A and B are shown apart, each in its own frame.
Chain A
Amino acid sequence: MKYIKFLLVGIFFGIVLTKSEAVSWYRIYEMFHFQSFHMYGIIMVAIFTGLIGIQLFKRRGIKNTEGQKIQIADKDKGVTRYLAGGILFGLGWALAGACPGPMYILLGAGFWSMGIVILGALSGTFVYGLLKNKLPH
């Protein structure tokens, strides 16, 4: 039962991402060609909403539903892993037209070929796990 709330958040997320068309291969292509403001608007408003919310959480010392004060761990410092990993991710994002969230959403929506993309994403994750200690971070 304690998982129901996460299922509900997921359903809401799936609806929003589909209604926003952020799951559309076309929207990603259009974004990378700077031919529409749509995706940039979505990302900027999402960040702005998050920024305000996180500041409110922190400044008011709001507790989460587990009863702990909300704290968000800082990301580890560094450049190489973020830039190199980011570029590889971006190449895939523009090719498949989907980042991880949309992959699941589209599969659920009945776009079966998205299963191939997810299979690729799982293998990519697996290979990263194998090479992790040999890569510069």
Chain B
Amino acid sequence: MDLIYKPFPWYLSGFLIGLVMLLLIYMGKNFGMSSNLRTLCSVFGAGKYSDFFKFNWKAQRWNLMVVLGAMIGGFITVHFLSDGSGVNINPETIAQLSELHIDAPEGKLLPDAVFGMENAFTVKGLLILLAGGFLVGFGSRYAGGCTSGHAISGISNLQLPSLIAVIGFFLGGLLMAHFILPFIF
């Protein structure tokens, strides 16, 4: 029963994520989530503005199906496969966050201070979410992949460029978490 309603331990999670990647490779595809952003730009007609978006996006429909599935999976888990006892982060982290006026998880996946509707739709809240998304979108295309494409797929295929990208992910992440977030919140 724990497996149904409780969070997965890290070793099970990691194993199953690795399995998803292997499954996609076995189906003749690849594990890459950020490339869907490029596909969606093409679907919305970005090919008129840059050749980067002029490609046969219909060949990527399978990946959009993965995205649709992932959304359904998220819905199923939050509504039917959790008992609200998760996100047991380090108490030290909670104390640190409270200094930044960010609410403790108490079972929530996301802090209200960032994602709650009353905060997300202030000018500051909107800018934070847009900027975070923008950097992820721009950075992942510039680097040619995100966590799935570089950190999991690339490194497990022993690709040096992916290791460099992941070092970049952490340099940027550490910079944000330690030196920029305290000034934002």
Identify the A interface with B (CB < 8 A): 3, 5-33, 35-39, 41-51, 53-54, 57, 62, 64-66, 68, 70, 72, 74-79, 81-101, 103-114, 116-130, 132, 135
Contact = CB atoms under 8 A, between A and B. Distances in A.
Contacts of A86: 139, 143, 150, 164-169, 171-172
Given A123-B133, A125-B140, 9 more contacts: A13-B69, A21-B7, A45-B11, A57-B22, A66-B27, A95-B181, A106-B110, A118-B133, A129-B41
Contacts of B110: 24-26, 97, 106, 111
Determine chain A's interface SS by DSSP, over half rule.
helix
Interface in B38-61: 38, 40-41, 44, 46, 49-50, 52-53, 61
Nearest to B148: A101
Contacts, number: 513
B70 A75 contact: no
Closest 4 CB pairs of A and B: A86-B168, A10-B69, A14-B73, A90-B172
Contacts of A108: 70-75
Determine chain B's interface SS by DSSP, over half rule.
helix
Nearest to A37: B10
Contacts of A32: 170, 173-174, 176-178
Interface residues of B, number: 127
Given A83-B167, A113-B115, A49 B178 contact: no
Contacts of B129: 96, 113, 116-117, 120
- Greatest chain A CB density within 10 A among B19, B132, B140, B150 is at B132
A77 B169 CA distance: 18
Nearest to A66: B28
A120 B71 contact: no
Contacts of A57: 22, 25-26
Contacts of B16: 12, 16, 20
A92 B131 CA distance: 7
